[in-house]
Structure formats: C-alpha cells, structure tokens
A and B are shown apart, each in its own frame.
Chain A
C-alpha cells in the first residue's frame, strides 16, 4: 500500500483553499466550482478508504509515516482504524453537502447560500476541513493537536463574518475561547504524558501507538485523565461545558452549523476517546462514573431544554447536546456494546444533525424566521425538505429502520450493563425527544401556511435536494443494513477493549 491516500485526503481541502484564495474575488462561480471539485474528490477518496479498509484484519491501516522532527519524536503519522474510518467518511459527506447548500446564487433574490465573499468563506471552511481530516487520521499526538487547533480557529471567522447578525460576535468569541481553553488544558496534559512516557520507556515520542505501552502509573492516570479527557470533550459538547455549543450553532451560517454539529463535535469526542481513554485507560476506569454522570445529565437536560425552545435552530442545537451526551455515555460504559453504539452514534448523529441544520437553513433563508410558532405548512411549499426533516426526526427518535436505532440501542444496552439506573434515567430523553420532534414537525411542516409567508417562500433548489438525498441515504442505509458500519466500528472497539485490559 504505497498510495498515500490519507495524506491526500487531508491536504486536498487546504490545497483547494489556497487555489481559491489565489482566484480573483469577482470569480465567484469559479471559486464554487473549485470547492465542489475538491469536496467530491475528498468524498470519493474517503469512500475508497471506507470500502478498502480490511475489516477482518482490523487495526490501523493505510499507515503512512514521515519523520517530521525526529529530535523530539514528532512524526507525521497517519492511519485509520474502525473508529476513525466512518468519521473520515462523515467528514467527506458533510463537506460535500455543505458546499452544495452554500452554493448561493447571484441572480436571484433568494438569500440562500453564501453571497458575500464566497472565496474567503470556502477557503476558511476548507482549512477547517483539513484540520478535521487531520485529527481523524493522525496517529501522532503532536500532529493530532496541530490539526485540532487548525480545526478550531477558522470557526471564529466563519461565524463572526457570515453568521447571524444578532449574536454572531458574541457567539463566535464565546465558542473560540471555550474551545481554545479546552484544547490548551489538554495540551498541558499531553506534554506531561510525553515526558512521563519518555521517562518510563526511554523513548521520547509522540507516537500514540508507542505511548499506549508507556506504562503510566495508576496515580498518574487518575490525575491526568480528567484534564485531558474533559479538555477535548469541551468540543464534544459535554455538560457542563456545553454552553458555547447552542449559541455557536445558532449564530453560524448553515454550512458551518452543519460542519460544527456534524463533524467538529465528533472531533472533540474522538480526541477524548483516542487520547483520554485509549492512552490513559486506568484513569478512564477510575473516572468513568463522573463521565457517565456528566453525560447522563447532558442527555436528559439537553433534551429537556430542546423541548422548550421556540427557535428551531436552538432546538436542534440543544438536541445535539443531548445526542452527543449519548456518545459520551457510550464511552463511559467502557464495554463492547456501549463503545460500539457510541461509534455508530457519532456517524449517525453527524449525518442527522447536518441534515437538520441544512433544512433549517433552507427554511430560514426563504421565510426569514426560525420561530417555530411563526412557521407552518412548509410541506406544501418545500415538500422535499419536509421529507428530509421527517426522516431526520425518525433517526433522532431512534426509530428502528434508521441509523439512530442502530446506534442508540447498543448504547443503552451498554449502559444497562454498567449501571442500570443511569440507563433508566437516560431513556427519559427518548420520550422527550420524540415529543419535541413530532411537535415541531407538525407545527413547522403541516397545517396552514401563515399569511406572512405566503407568496415569497419557494421550493428548495436542485443542489439542496441532492444534499438532502445524500444525507438521508446514509441514515436509511445504516438503519436497514447495520452491517454497513457496525462490524467496522467493532474492530475499532476491540482495540480499545484490548487497551482497557479486555473488559
């Protein structure tokens, strides 16, 4: 395997970003074409990786190593396992659909898409995408961190410049400071791990595969697990550090909300898993009750807050907190079922929430309101979007036949095995979720069209339809054929369980 597919995937967006920045500002359509081409290219390659990953062999595949700074043991080492392969695919999908729905149109008076400076918008978005790919494929802790930070800072600009006028300055700064604070707390932990691992083994390296065998003492792990795990989990939206996330989602432009909720939050969860749980497994066992507590609160509380929201986007933002809580809950079980469920949930939630935000954006662009009581009858005006939203809603409720069920069922099984009471309490969220999803579908998509909206609200564009279809296909495919994803995630889980001592 000499074809460096992972580095090509990782660097495609950033190369595209540079090309776009070199284009003249007036060439909006050329800019969009470059963006779409790069997104399709990355998507195809991530599909290729997904289908060529050897599920029987498991482990890390497509490994590439380039010595970057041997003096300190830093290498550009890429590789994917059963946990990260679906996430690479997820990023490709969200990137592709994000470009489609941000296309914009200079001729019509529709607000849809990005009209103002699309060149900068796509460039920053793609720099972010490179960072995301980089984190998912990095096997070197330093590089993981490097890409992690690259994924965080463009967010500020994307939200502050193209976001919702009312809250964008506040939300962008809040989000950036939260995430930066989380990441630097983790950074301290990571550097401490580097030195201690070096002292224990005599080899100073950031290579995570070697750090797995560093033999951190129980005390060390107990002390450093929490800063490392929680520092990353801030980006995963874990309660009580979730506060930035709904504000950020709401203020962000549509494609950025999709990226943000769909992919970036997975980034936090994934890094917390890979660095926190996999490198400090004893610490994870010691603190799993606390993570379970935080996650349990996030699941129920997030769902409840989502239930009382009047703003459609805030509702989805808090439902993301709730669903990401399920991912963390799956992690905290540290058993096979829970981790598998969490792995699938990361993908499922990513696709689902990207779909929700995309459709919310389409509605807002045309009706200029997101207030749920002011909306109605959208299924008459944009039937395609209505179907998409309903499918997303079914996934969100965990309905069998859709990806949500495949993900949530094992999580609850795992939680039941670890701590049945938490499972009982967390399951309340399913009822609340069903309630707010169905209520909103009825209010927004059915009934009469309010007078204010009649006339000027049109149907979604063809590109929007392609995006909706793509996202829906994944949710249905996983729901009907769990074998599409579950066995792959399981190979990743086996590896984690091995580190946890075969629990």
Chain B
C-alpha cells in the first residue's frame, strides 16, 4: 500500500531521480561550451531537494515502509542529507575539471550513485540493501575511469571494478547464507531470531564476517583498503573526493544500521566478541592508514591513506555499542565529509591551475593564494583533530564513547595515531607556508579560483568551522539518529 508516509520516506530519492532526468533532457540542448552549467543545475537541484525533503520528508517515529524494504527514521534522514550535501559540493567541484565538467553524463552518474547511497542508508532488507549498494557502486566504477585515454584513470576504474565486484560477491554469498539459515531477509526479524536463540550464533558470526568484507571495501577498512590509494590517485580528483567521503559514509550507514540492529547492546550473546573483532580491525585500520600516509609524497595519496585511518577512528564509535557511540560515529562522519571534501576541493583547485599534485609542488602556495592556503590549513588541522574545527570535537566524542565502553586501550591507540597524523598533516602545511618556489617569484604564479570552487570551498570551510564550534545542533541530530537504532 502506497501511503503518504511511504511517499515521504523516499521523497529525496524521487527528487534525485527527477533531477537526473532533467539533467539528461537538458544537457543535449546546451552548446558544448555551456555544458558545464549542468553542474549549477545539479548542485542547485540537490540543494533544492534538500530543502524540500527537510520540510516535507522529515520522519516521525521510525516506521518501515514499502513492504518492509525501507526504514523511515532519523538515521536514514540525517545520512541522506549528508550525502546530498556532499553530492552538491561534488557537482560544483566537477564543473571546472576539464575532463569531467563539460560532460553531462558525469553529473548523471553522480546522481545515480547518490540515489544508491540514499537507499543504502535506509534499506532494512538484505535484497534491497544489495541493490542499493550496487546502484551506488556501478556509476562510481564508471566515474573512476572517466578520463578516457588517461592510463591512470583507466587503471583506477578497472581496479575499483575488480575489487568491488569481488567483495560484493562475497557479501552476496553472505546474504544468501543468511537467508538459508533464517528464512528471512529482514534484518530486524533476523535480530529478533538471534536474540530469541533461534539461530546458531556462530553461524551468524561467520556470515557477518562475509558481509563485513563487502562493507569493509566501501569503508576501506584494512585489509580491504588496497584499492583506495590507487583509485584516489588515478580517478578524477572530484570523484576521489566523493569516493572518500559520501561513499565511505554510506558504507558506515550500513555498518551502523546492520550491526546495531543485530547487537543493540553489549549483553546480546557474542556481542562482546563481535565488538572486540571490530575493535581489532579499527586498531589495525588506523595504524596502517597512518603509517602508510607518513612516507607519501603525492598529496592525493596522502589524503587517501589518511582517509583509511579516519575510517579506523570512526569505528571506535561502532565498537562502543552504545547510543553515544552511534551518535559519535554519525557526528564523526558529518565532520569528516565536510573536511575531506574541503581537502580534495583544494587539491582540485590547485591542480586545475598547475596540473601538479605532489607535496613539493605546493611550495610557496600561501604566497600564491593566501586564502586557499588558509582553507587548506583549516582542512588539515580539522583532519588532524585540532579545534576550532570539526575534526576535534568529532574525535573527542568518539574517544569518549570508546572510554565509556571500556575500550581505553583502543582510545590510547587512537590518540597515538592522531599524533602521527599531526606530524604528516603539519608536514604538508610546511610546504604550503614555509617553503618557496625555486625562483621565489610566487607573485607571478597566482592560483585564481573560479566561481564554483569559491562557492563550494567557502561553504565547506564554514561547515567545518560550524561543526567544530557550534556543535550542539549537529550532535542533537546525530543523537536523534542514533536513538532510532535502539
């Protein structure tokens, strides 16, 4: 039965679909040199979709709609808003990328993948979930290899496809086993079967491990992270930014929903073992990510490894298996999306003018464009976890949740890791602020920013600062989202 609630529950997706069609229809009528304006349409449309959904698509009490496929709750809503925000920012960043921005299909693929992410955040049925994940991934494979004729980009697209196909097959195998064990694909039914003892706990854990492979790929948890640096480096930079933020957050949305549904608190059988294994993954992920980020000389690869490490930090909140833990993960992702998009946006703005991406090419950047350098400072300090930027508060919340749950060792490890992080983030800033270009003639090499970049970067930097200073509303929403899990 299709009620108004069911309509509201997929309102953002409907709007995205409409927008996608609009993009498809409008694009051929524009002249080639005007096609980049599709970016304005996409970003503006997504922004409008956010506003409309905010007023007409707000969830009330959590309900399951559309035949048990979709959950209508704050968790999904908050994530959808995050994805659409990231999508709008990415569309703006697409525009002045030479190889991507002038082609309408890039925006269409972006919207298609966004549609999938939105559904990932709300799916409560394994079949639906799998469809959502594939809807997200397939456009991203294409986008990663979007620069035809560029060997690195082709490699990135192909690598992403191979890894993605393999891991999603394993995950699908896990889903099929779940159905075989329990006869249901509804994750809440699955959870109640588990708590009532109707299922073999060990079997379920094994299956969860298989599913974790698929999600681990999306989130780039070590050891499923190998694709990340190469794909980020090779694919068009705005795509890399989107992959490392929205796509990763979508993975987290599934992780959080699935595992909190099955283990709503630490007393459920095997929950402790499960939390411990996630804790170990988290520890390995952040350590490996940070240590591999240390020797990088290419800024995109550095951010790629650091984003692996950030997945590790965020997982501390998952380990905690508490409401604060879930809220802190959601908050962390919000801060992280804004920050990392900002970082990638700066890399884009810089390499659009210079065509360079190595750390040493950033020498003298603060003299070439002081404002861009300041924004980069904000992004990197936020990644390093310094106030008044979002990264600091997010880290404190995640650590607080970890300590509350008794994982002090994990938090201490996280803290040691963030010291490593401070080192390489500040090291990058050293190039920007301290070193100079070989000829010391920075004033002759300005880095002009085009309007889409200015808008996107300013919005993102304000977001990073607002999340880091006025954190009460964000935390309130994260908390409301987390409440729906219990």
Contact = CB atoms under 8 A, between A and B. Distances in A.
Interface string A55-90: 000000000000111111000000000000000000
B374 interface: yes
B475 interface: yes
Interface string B393-437: 000100110011000100110010011001100110110011000
Nearest to A160: B434
B412 A188 contact: yes
Interface residues of B, number: 34
A284 B446 CA distance: 56
Contacts of B412: 188
B192 to A, nearest CB: 29
A153 interface: yes
Interface string A177-197: 100110011011001101100
B370 A177 contact: no
Contacts of B472: 67-71
B203 interface: no
Contacts of A146: 387-388, 392
Interface in B361-396: 366-367, 370, 374, 377, 381, 386-388, 392, 396
A181 B381 CA distance: 15
Would you call the interface of chain A mostly helix, strand, loop, or mixed? helix
A21 interface: yes
Contacts of B426: 156, 173, 176
A326 interface: no
B403 A192 contact: yes
A25 interface: yes
B366 A120 contact: yes
A149 interface: yes
A157 interface: yes
A494 interface: no
B471 interface: yes
B476 interface: yes
Contacts of B419: 177, 180-181, 184
A161 B422 CA distance: 17
A157 B415 contact: no
Contacts of B386: 149-150, 152-153
B434 A169 contact: yes
Contacts of A156: 426, 429
A177 B423 contact: yes
B359 to A, nearest CB: 14
B476 A195 contact: no
B479 interface: yes
Contact of B475 (A72, A169, A192, A194): A72
A149 B387 contact: yes
Contacts of A168: 434
Contacts of B422: 176-177, 180
B31 to A, nearest CB: 38
B433 A194 contact: no
A157 B387 CA distance: 15
Contact of B388 (A70, A150, A152, A180): A150
A175 B231 CA distance: 36
B429 A157 contact: yes
A169 B430 contact: yes
Contacts of A71: 472, 475-476, 479
B396 A187 contact: yes
Given A157-B433, A188-B408, A69 B423 contact: no
Given A146-B387, A160-B430, A169-B434, A192 B423 contact: no
Contacts of B367: 117
A69 B393 CA distance: 12
Contact of A25 (B370, B403, B429): B370
A168 B426 CA distance: 13
Contacts of B381: 153
A72 B404 CA distance: 13
A150 B386 CA distance: 7
B415 A184 contact: yes
Interface in B325-382: 366-367, 370, 374, 377, 381
Contacts of A142: 396
A72 B408 CA distance: 19
B393 to A, nearest CB: 8
Contact of B387 (A150, A177, A185, A192): A150
Contacts of B404: 195
Contact of A194 (B366, B392, B400, B429): B400
Contact of A192 (B388, B408, B415, B433): B408
Nearest to A142: B396
Contacts of A68: 471-472
Contacts of B411: 188, 191
Given A150-B388, A157-B429, A187-B399, 4 more contacts: A149-B387, A153-B381, A184-B418, A188-B408
Interface of B: 366-367, 370, 374, 377, 381, 386-388, 392, 396, 399-400, 403-404, 408, 411-412, 415, 418-419, 422-423, 426-427, 429-430, 433-434, 471-472, 475-476, 479
The 10 closest A-B pairs by CB, nearest first: A184-B415, A69-B472, A153-B386, A149-B387, A191-B403, A146-B387, A191-B400, A161-B433, A150-B387, A160-B434
